[in-house]
Amino acid sequence: MPDTRLRRARFSVCAVFMIHAAAFGTWGTRIPAIKHHVGIGNGQLGIAFSGLAIGLVVGTRIAGVVVDRFGSRPAIRVATVLLCAVLLGPALADSLAVLTAVLFVLGGVGGFLDVAMNAHTVVVERGYGRPIMSSVHALWSVGLLIGALSGAGAAALGLDPRLHFGIVAAALLVPSFLAPARLLAAQADAVPAEAKLEPSAKARPGTGARSTCATVSTRAPASRRRRSPRSRSRWPRAASRVIRCRRASVPSRSSVREVSSPRSA
């Protein structure tokens, strides 16, 4: 049974997932209004989306280094607040260049937070001792639905995207400050000792040859399904490969004799 600390951490990381999804759900539903406000066409909108995609790639790459150095909890605390702040950027853009730039920042922060919150979920899941990732991602879908519904309602009411995004950012800012406070400490991100590579799992002489032999021997019978003259001619080659691999994996008598005999002083 997980303790109170783990349950609070799970609740907090679920809240972070919902904040992340609600922000992007809000942005996604107001794309037509933002496109009309900036005055761009479909092709130019695609260029702006490239900024979002590049930002996602950059953010995810940076997040791995930051989480590994400082832990997932500090990364989440900073990224959730930044996500609420940069959410206003697309609504305030007045040109293609500005929209592309702010979408790059939005994608970078979103990708950064995505990696950090998933990394922390792995830590919480390790404490639970059972899979919880699917339930956490299910709540991300709930957050996306909430953001999409709010965007649909704002669009139906003819609400300006700047006002709409400002309301959503203010509403998400409070849980963005509160939710990370219950996350696990940064020391919990350390990899447990039992998860590290054991000496018995390291490479030993002949292991590669034996694995190659196993691969050849398990794949070879699949050719029996189609008896073509060309496939029949390959059987002697496959057999010779297996024989050579097995000979390579077995040490010679001279090498065994050298190892077993004591060295002269």
* Residue 205 identity: P
Q: Is the pTM of this model over 0.75?
A: no
* Residue 195 identity: A
Pick 215 or 187 by higher pLDDT: 187
Average pLDDT, the chain: 80
**Can you list the positions of beta strands (E) in the chain?**
none
Mean pLDDT across 98-123? 96
**pLDDT confidence of residue 203:** 47
Residue 156 has pLDDT above 90, yes or no: yes
Range with the poorest average pLDDT among 60-64, 77-81, 201-205: 201-205
CA angle 251, 254, 260 (to 5 degrees): 85
17-33 pLDDT, tens per residue? 999 999 999 999 999 99
* Percent over 70 (pLDDT), the chain: 69
Range with the poorest average pLDDT among 79-83, 141-145, 198-202, 242-246: 198-202
Largest CA distance in the chain: 93
